[in-house]
Structure 1
Amino acid sequence: MIPAEVLDHSLPWAESDHLALGETAQRIELLDGGLLIGPSPSVRHQVIVGGLVAALEPGCAAANRTLLPVINLRLNATRILNPDLVVTAKLDLTADCVPADAVLLVGEVSAPPAATIDRVLKPHLYAAAGIGWYLLVEQESLTVKLHQLHGAHYVERSTARAGEVLELTEPVKATIRPEELLPRRVSVGWPRVGP
């Protein structure tokens, strides 16, 4: 359910209005005075994000970088997105948002219904903000794609599917095996409790 504050608010939305929403059940992002409202992430989505965090964290620690899942990322004064993860070079623990100029890599896990946003719109916005690397995981196929900023847009540098390995050397060292982003045994339902 969309919060009443969203339905009752007139356009345009300012950064302060957006941040005043606080935590919501939906993913609500600020884009040029309007809002992008997406559904809450699925369990599969969140498990894949956890797998990415596990794969990237050792390299981040070794390079003195910070890995943050689902954070307010300020691209500019009118754009705040909530990527699935970011790798930062510096961190201000008092800030409401991580500024784009502190982000080395941004990652998204893409699945319907937001696939077009993750494959087209967000890479365009991240590139315009000057973020050097974009990591995209296609949730359905578990394909991982690493893109590097080249001029004003991203260029695909490597791709890995299940059974293959994606090796990152920049901005941190990491090895991502797509099939390991999901546990080998995934329950199809909740465990039964009681006799």
Structure 2
Amino acid sequence: MTAAVFDHEGPWTDEEYLALGETQQRVELFDGSLHVTPAPTPRHQNISGELRAVLRQPAREARLRVLGAVNVRLRPGRIPIPDLVITGEIDFDQVNIEAHDVRLVCEIISPSNAATDKVLKMHYYATAGIEWYLLVEQENATLHLYRRQGRHYVEQSVAKVGETLELTDPVRATIRPEELLP
């Protein structure tokens, strides 16, 4: 992958990006530019796994799926890899999930990429029409749930350790932040 990245000239297309194949790093495409981050920390992975476990059965009951670290095509030239998504019916053999199939997107904020999750991705997900955005603060497991209003998100609720976050849409679930921490 290294030679392909450094020898590339000009903006990346979706096809060129996807031709890179699977990597150990998280490589996302934002408006023709690659955004590369290291693999998530064990703490990050633990939070993601616990959250996915909490959401799995409620998603099944709603005839939805909860998936981790998949390509979500928001529009041409814009393919992030969120930590978790809840989707409707999708083709499991396609390399991308289209934004219109995503009901909720979740990012677990890492200190190294907080601005990307809180500003850039939040804007991109809202403009792509994804209804719900769940942000998890990794260090203290505070949950921030946002709902889309037009082309922006508005915070609906916050839950800290000792509190609960009640999801009613797109799935019905109760999330206790302390249960996500290692």
TM-score (norm 2): 0.97
RMSD, aligned α-carbons: 1.0
Specify the alignment match of 1:76 in structure 2.
75
Structure 1, unmatched stretches of 5+, are 184-195
Give the CA deviation at 1:3.
2.3
Specify the alignment match of 1:141 in structure 2.
140
Letter matched to residue 150 of structure 2:
G
Cα distance per residue 1:23-42 (max 9 Å; x no partner)? 11211111111111112110
Specify the alignment match of 1:4 in structure 2.
3
3-state secondary structure, aligned to 2:23:
coil
Q: How does 1:73-152 map to 2 (within 5 A)?
A: 73-152=72-151
Letter matched to residue 69 of structure 2:
V
Give the CA deviation at 1:94.
2.4
Structure 2, unmatched stretches of 5+, are none
| Cα distance in 2, alignment partners of residues 181 and 141 from structure 1 | 10
Cα distance per residue 1:107-135 (max 9 Å; x no partner)? 00001100110111101000010000000
| Cα distance in 2, alignment partners of residues 119 and 34 from structure 1 | 19
Which segments of structure 1 move beyond 6 Å, counting only runs of 4 or more?
none
Cα distance per residue 1:143-166 (max 9 Å; x no partner)? 001100011100000110001000
TM-score (norm 1): 0.91
Between stretches 19-28 and 145-154, larger displacement belongs to: 19-28
| Cα distance in 1, alignment partners of residues 135 and 3 from structure 2 | 32
| Cα distance in 2, alignment partners of residues 8 and 54 from structure 1 | 41
| Cα distance in 2, alignment partners of residues 19 and 38 from structure 1 | 17
Question: Who wins on radius of gyration, i.e. which is larger?
Answer: 1
| Cα distance in 2, alignment partners of residues 11 and 95 from structure 1 | 26
Q: How many residues align?
A: 182
3-state secondary structure, aligned to 1:113:
helix
3-state secondary structure, aligned to 2:156:
strand
Give the CA deviation at 1:182.
2.2
| Cα distance in 1, alignment partners of residues 39 and 111 from structure 2 | 12
What percentage of aligned pairs have identical amino acids? 52
